[in-house]
Chain A
Amino acid sequence: MTIIASLVIPLVGAIGIALAGRVNANFRESVTLITAGVLAWTVWSLLPEVLAGGRPAVSITEIVPGIEIAFRVEPLGMLFAALASALWIVNSIYSIGYMRGNKEKKQTRFYTFFAIAVAAAMGIAFSANLFTLFLFYEVLTLSTYPLVSHKGDEKTVRSARVYLGVLLTTSIGLLLPAIIWTYVAAGTGDFTMGGILAGKIDGPEVGLLLGLFVFGIGKAAVMPVHRWLPAAMVAPTPVSALLHAVAVVKAGVFTITKVIVYIFGIDFLAETPSSNWLLYAAAFTIIAASVVALRQQNLKRLLAYSTIAQLSYVVMATAILKPLAEVGAAIHMVAHAFGKITLFFAAGAIYVASKKTELHQLRGIGRRMPWTMTAFSIGALSMIGVPPTGGFVSKWYILAGAFEADNYVAIATIIASTVLNAAYFLPIIYFAWFEPEQPGAENDHGEAPFFAVLALTITAALTIGFFLFNATAIELERQLVSP
């Protein structure tokens, strides 16, 4: 019942937002915030039961024999849903500040599709089998398209076409065949502890199927299917923040993790050499994306490439195929979400306050926007993995897993990418705080709107908070690998 509610609430909210938008903006924003609050409360109310080992489940309908729409809450999905629903509240607060400060048009459409996208994310989180997951995966793609193309001008539409094109092509072209293959081979697509494919397929086919899954799940942005992510940066910043730091990209890596843990099974993959390539593909993406990020001049594009690299952290951690690393993968989704949403919020706040988008414009901006830049610095430190931020915790677990597996490729990649992360984030922090600003009229601005600052302060606090209070999340995710 609670599961259904967490899907229906945002949908009802979407209708409410659409109707309230006709009355006035304040009423519409209230509906959004109330919906987000109720949803978070509903989702979080599932947590105690899942922590205690319960796996609430519900089946909606059997479409054809063996293929049903069904939901089941397991640790990974619980974490993802809890994260997305909680950050939706913060993001809604931020959206109010950003959208009003920027005087964006068609705000009702924006909030409506946002709610639908969140509903799709909940569906992905709680899906009990591959078919249900695929259903909501596509809904998420389609419902975010109007958000990405929000501005509606020629350039935006072209970028949005890349976004939609890459995600639909990969999902229909690769993921769907992979799913059908799984159903045909194993006779089921249920997410099952220990996997369902062991003994059903073997040899090079395993590597091939894994490839169909990994590149079919374009939302995870493993190179070469990462092009949509920088393209999607044309969206308004709140969209980039929640969807492209949390819901969409995390839906991607979440799906990959879920497929590896519950469909293949980590033991089965560990003894199948044809699946080894995944680790190298992810490691390559981490390094390559970091190098590209190093060369970016536009702040949002830099964050986009940083996201690509961080997503592959999760994929690589999963591909280490050791329990500790799987925990690290799950925790990294949370840690990265807090850090990256802060960074995006800060980028958006800078844009609203000053219309600045390029790195060289940020000299000395710390004095004008102290709250924003403090939050930005915290987010950046979390990306690098410096204590006391959340990024440190997840890196710790991933490294522990890598050492357990004696996987020196993974260890070397993590070290190299930490250096690269520092190389592109630290100069920004340094310039913002310690360089004098260029004289000029465009620098005559203050702090961003209150709601925007409030939101990014909250997420920065969460980034640090996660360093201190992460026991629940880790306890939850330990159940992922040992029931």
Chain B
Amino acid sequence: MNPSEHLAALQVVVPFLAAPLIVLLQARRLAWAATTLTSLLAFAIAIALTHGVLNGQDHQYFMGSWPAPYGIELRVDGFSAVLLLAITGASSAALLAGYHSLDQQIEPKRQPLFFAAWILALAGLTGIVVSADAFNIFVFMEISSLASYVLVAGGPDRRALPAVLKYLIFGTIGATFYLIGVGLIYMMTGTLNLADMELRIPEVADQSPVLVAAGFITVGLALKAALFPLHIWLPNAYTFSPHVVTVFLAACATKVSLYVLLRFDFFVFQQNITGHKLQFTVFFMSLAVFAILIASAVALFEKNLKRMLAWSSVAQIGYIMLGASIVSLAGLTASVLHVFNHAIAKGSLFLAVACLAMSFRGLRLGNIAGSAKAMPWTMGALVLSGLSLIGVPGTAGFISKWYLISAVFELGGGIAIFLTAVIVIGSLMAVVYIWRIVEHAYFRPPETDAVVREAPLGILTVTWIVALANLYFGINPELPVALSESAASALMGHIR
């Protein structure tokens, strides 16, 4: 048996098998080590899969060797590779940072259970991405959602409980909508395999059940992706969850739902429903514009550091959706690229916040006043990743903004000018809210006389590695660009 043939399956199977074992480990350090190792192994598998994709071979895997429409198919292409890297990379970085950070927030006795939930969330998210089967996606979606509710509620902050309840209700509505949609399509086509669905759906295209299904699936997934105005569960869930959980979820969770949304739309609906392209564009483009402008504006006035960044995430989802809503090669490239780059930028930002949280109990802007003097490395990483979030040249964020604006220019006419203005205004608002952090940290006197120490070396190292990735992929973006281009051409290839 050659293990490299089974990589796609192993990506999901490894964390799944690890989960029960981790529960059994009573010592919290041991549980942490096992979880981190599993996550790193998953990261290595993701890199191996990406390597294959870059060499021009998409992985296709049939569970139990049952051929496609009957058995369960797994498939990894450029788009999935981007997501896999983001999920496993974010999980690994967050866990490594969690060595120091989690002890503060989670009682030692509950840690093994917490880690088991973590690894299940990881398995679920990767499962969604590798599945080529609509129902399988639903199953993994439920696994990852249930596990992430546990993660979000895991911290000591009691305000996390109402937040997670909201998250749970919205998440369940989203998943149910998706399931209803899939059920309707199954009724019409008799298949759950996405590729098969694409072949069969033209026969029943434009019939009411398919239209209804399209509506349910789109709205359900948009809800899970926190696309404006369905984002209201997100800010509090991110704010009150344990800090490293925020790192993990902010970097990838909503994007996985976006991934499914784009997959479904471009593979199944896009060319089979009359006028769908126009609807898709009009609907999502306007939502994306609102997301960028409104969420950024809210972030401007937000005082809590984590909630400010959470609102910024809502805005960033807007950028990703804006690219996709153009329905062009350039637009989709920009979109997928921003999935990757934003994962790095937001990941390192939240890591820096986790570093700050090692020394500061409160994370309001006033609390961290003057922190730069005591924690120069933490703040350095925060500023660097903040620049990437803004899209300053030389950072990863710039590359995706460049592609996005180029894609917008291709549209031409008034709409191009309008959308460019939106992107630019959004970026400028990012300048302002990032700069508010900088001013508080560098120029305000500390609130109290308490002695503040720099975060431990371990968590700082992880933070800086991710922060420097922002620079690396800003200067040498070959890898994400190649993946995004292959993802975009795969998605566009399904439009006739």
Pair B476/A64 contact, Cβ less than 8 Å: no
In the complex the two chains form, what is the Cα distance from A348 to B439 in whole Å? 28
A37 at interface (Cβ–Cβ under 8 A)? no
Q: Which of A67, A149, A176, A184 has a CB less than 8 Å from the CB of B410?
A: A184
Which A14-51 residues have a C-beta within 8 angstroms of B? none
B431 at interface (Cβ–Cβ under 8 A)? yes
Q: Which of A138, A157, A173 has a CB less than 8 Å from the CB of B392?
A: A138
Pair B431/A180 contact, Cβ less than 8 Å: no
Pair B420/A177 contact, Cβ less than 8 Å: yes
Q: Report the minimum CB–CB distance from B403 to chain A (whole Å).
A: 8
Interface size in chain A (residues, C-beta < 8 A)? 27
For B392-406 the 0/1 string (1 means CB < 8 A from A) is: 111000010111011
B427 at interface (Cβ–Cβ under 8 A)? yes
Q: Report the minimum CB–CB distance from A450 to chain B (whole Å).
A: 34
In the complex the two chains form, what is the Cα distance from A67 to B427 in whole Å? 21
In the complex the two chains form, what is the Cα distance from A168 to B390 in whole Å? 11
B391 at interface (Cβ–Cβ under 8 A)? yes
Pair A183/B406 contact, Cβ less than 8 Å: yes
Q: Which of A64, A138, A172, A183 has a CB less than 8 Å from the CB of B428?
A: A172
Pair B392/A177 contact, Cβ less than 8 Å: no
For A250-266 the 0/1 string (1 means CB < 8 A from B) is: 00000000000000000
Q: Which of B410, B424, B428, B443 has a CB less than 8 Å from the CB of A157?
A: B443
Residue of A nearest to B482 (CB): A64
Residues of B within 8 A of A165 (CB): 431
Residues of B within 8 A of A131 (CB): 393
Pair A184/B406 contact, Cβ less than 8 Å: yes
Q: Which of B401, B402, B443, B476 has a CB less than 8 Å from the CB of A149?
A: B443
Pair A172/B431 contact, Cβ less than 8 Å: yes
Pair A173/B428 contact, Cβ less than 8 Å: yes
Please judge, given known A-B contacts A63-B399, A169-B428, whether A135 and B443 are in contact too, CB under 8 Å.
Answer: no
A57 at interface (Cβ–Cβ under 8 A)? no
Residues of A within 8 A of B402 (CB): 64, 67, 180
Residues of B within 8 A of A164 (CB): 435
Residues of A within 8 A of B481 (CB): 64
Pair A177/B424 contact, Cβ less than 8 Å: yes
A161 at interface (Cβ–Cβ under 8 A)? yes
A142 at interface (Cβ–Cβ under 8 A)? yes
Pair B399/A64 contact, Cβ less than 8 Å: yes
B52 at interface (Cβ–Cβ under 8 A)? no
B477 at interface (Cβ–Cβ under 8 A)? yes
Residue of A nearest to B412 (CB): A184
In the complex the two chains form, what is the Cα distance from A135 to B474 in whole Å? 11
Please judge, given known A-B contacts A138-B392, A177-B424, whether A63 and B405 are in contact too, CB under 8 Å.
Answer: no
Residues of B within 8 A of A152 (CB): 443
B290 at interface (Cβ–Cβ under 8 A)? no
B27 at interface (Cβ–Cβ under 8 A)? no
A181 at interface (Cβ–Cβ under 8 A)? yes
In the complex the two chains form, what is the Cα distance from A135 to B427 in whole Å? 16
Q: Which of A63, A138, A142, A172 has a CB less than 8 Å from the CB of B475?
A: A63
Q: Which of B399, B401, B431 has a CB less than 8 Å from the CB of A168?
A: B431
In the complex the two chains form, what is the Cα distance from A184 to B417 in whole Å? 14
A344 at interface (Cβ–Cβ under 8 A)? no
In the complex the two chains form, what is the Cα distance from A39 to B225 in whole Å? 52
Pair A177/B443 contact, Cβ less than 8 Å: no
B280 at interface (Cβ–Cβ under 8 A)? no
A61 at interface (Cβ–Cβ under 8 A)? yes
A139 at interface (Cβ–Cβ under 8 A)? yes
Q: Which of A64, A139, A172 has a CB less than 8 Å from the CB of B427?
A: A172
Q: Which of B409, B425, B476 has a CB less than 8 Å from the CB of A180?
A: B409
Q: Report the minimum CB–CB distance from A137 to chain B (whole Å).
A: 8
Q: Report the minimum CB–CB distance from A105 to chain B (whole Å).
A: 13
A134 at interface (Cβ–Cβ under 8 A)? yes
Pair A177/B405 contact, Cβ less than 8 Å: yes
Residues of A within 8 A of B476 (CB): 61, 63
Residues of B within 8 A of A169 (CB): 428, 431
Residue of B nearest to A64 (CB): B481
Residues of A within 8 A of B410 (CB): 184
In the complex the two chains form, what is the Cα distance from A86 to B393 in whole Å? 28
Q: Report the minimum CB–CB distance from A68 to chain B (whole Å).
A: 11
Pair A64/B477 contact, Cβ less than 8 Å: yes
Residues of A within 8 A of B428 (CB): 168-169, 172-173
Residue of B nearest to A131 (CB): B393
In the complex the two chains form, what is the Cα distance from A399 to B396 in whole Å? 47
In the complex the two chains form, what is the Cα distance from A169 to B427 in whole Å? 9
Residue of B nearest to A141 (CB): B392
Please judge, given known A-B contacts A63-B477, A135-B393, A138-B392, whether A180 and B405 are in contact too, CB under 8 Å.
Answer: yes
In the complex the two chains form, what is the Cα distance from A138 to B401 in whole Å? 15
Which B350-405 residues have a C-beta within 8 angstroms of A? 387, 390-394, 399, 401-403, 405
Please judge, given known A-B contacts A63-B399, A173-B428, whether A138 and B409 are in contact too, CB under 8 Å.
Answer: no
In the complex the two chains form, what is the Cα distance from A139 to B398 in whole Å? 13
Residues of B within 8 A of A181 (CB): 409
Residues of A within 8 A of B427 (CB): 172
Q: Report the minimum CB–CB distance from B144 to chain A (whole Å).
A: 33
Q: Which of A69, A135, A157 has a CB less than 8 Å from the CB of B439?
A: A157
For B410-423 the 0/1 string (1 means CB < 8 A from A) is: 10000000001000
In the complex the two chains form, what is the Cα distance from A67 to B439 in whole Å? 34
Which A376-390 residues have a C-beta within 8 angstroms of B? none
Pair B405/A61 contact, Cβ less than 8 Å: no
Residues of B within 8 A of A157 (CB): 439, 443
Q: Report the minimum CB–CB distance from B322 to chain A (whole Å).
A: 15
Pair A176/B477 contact, Cβ less than 8 Å: no
Q: Which of B394, B420, B431 has a CB less than 8 Å from the CB of A139?
A: B394
Tell me which of B387, B401, B402, B428 has the highest count of chain A C-beta atoms within 10 A of its own C-beta: B402
In the complex the two chains form, what is the Cα distance from A105 to B379 in whole Å? 21
In the complex the two chains form, what is the Cα distance from A157 to B481 in whole Å? 39
Residues of A within 8 A of B424 (CB): 172-173, 176-177
In the complex the two chains form, what is the Cα distance from A63 to B428 in whole Å? 24
Residues of A within 8 A of B391 (CB): 172
Residues of B within 8 A of A149 (CB): 443
Pair A61/B443 contact, Cβ less than 8 Å: no
Pair B399/A134 contact, Cβ less than 8 Å: no
Residues of A within 8 A of B394 (CB): 135, 138-139
Residue of B nearest to A164 (CB): B435
Q: Report the minimum CB–CB distance from A32 to chain B (whole Å).
A: 22
In the complex the two chains form, what is the Cα distance from A134 to B395 in whole Å? 13
Residue of B nearest to A172 (CB): B427
Which B232-281 residues have a C-beta within 8 angstroms of A? none
Residue of A nearest to B443 (CB): A157
Which A131-161 residues have a C-beta within 8 angstroms of B? 131, 134-135, 138-139, 142, 149, 152, 157, 161
Residues of B within 8 A of A172 (CB): 390-391, 424, 427-428, 431
Question: Could you pull out 9 A-B pairs where Cβ atoms are within 8 angstroms?
Answer: A63-B476, A63-B477, A64-B399, A138-B393, A138-B394, A157-B443, A172-B390, A172-B431, A181-B409
Given A157-B443, A168-B428; 12 other pairs, CB 8 A cutoff: A61-B476, A64-B399, A64-B481, A131-B393, A157-B439, A161-B439, A169-B431, A172-B427, A173-B425, A176-B424, A181-B409, A183-B406
Give the B-binding residues of A (Cβ under 8 A): 61, 63-64, 67, 69, 131, 134-135, 138-139, 142, 149, 152, 157, 161, 164-165, 168-169, 172-173, 176-177, 180-181, 183-184
Give the A-binding residues of B (Cβ under 8 A): 387, 390-394, 399, 401-403, 405-406, 409-410, 420, 424-425, 427-428, 431, 435, 439, 443, 475-477, 481
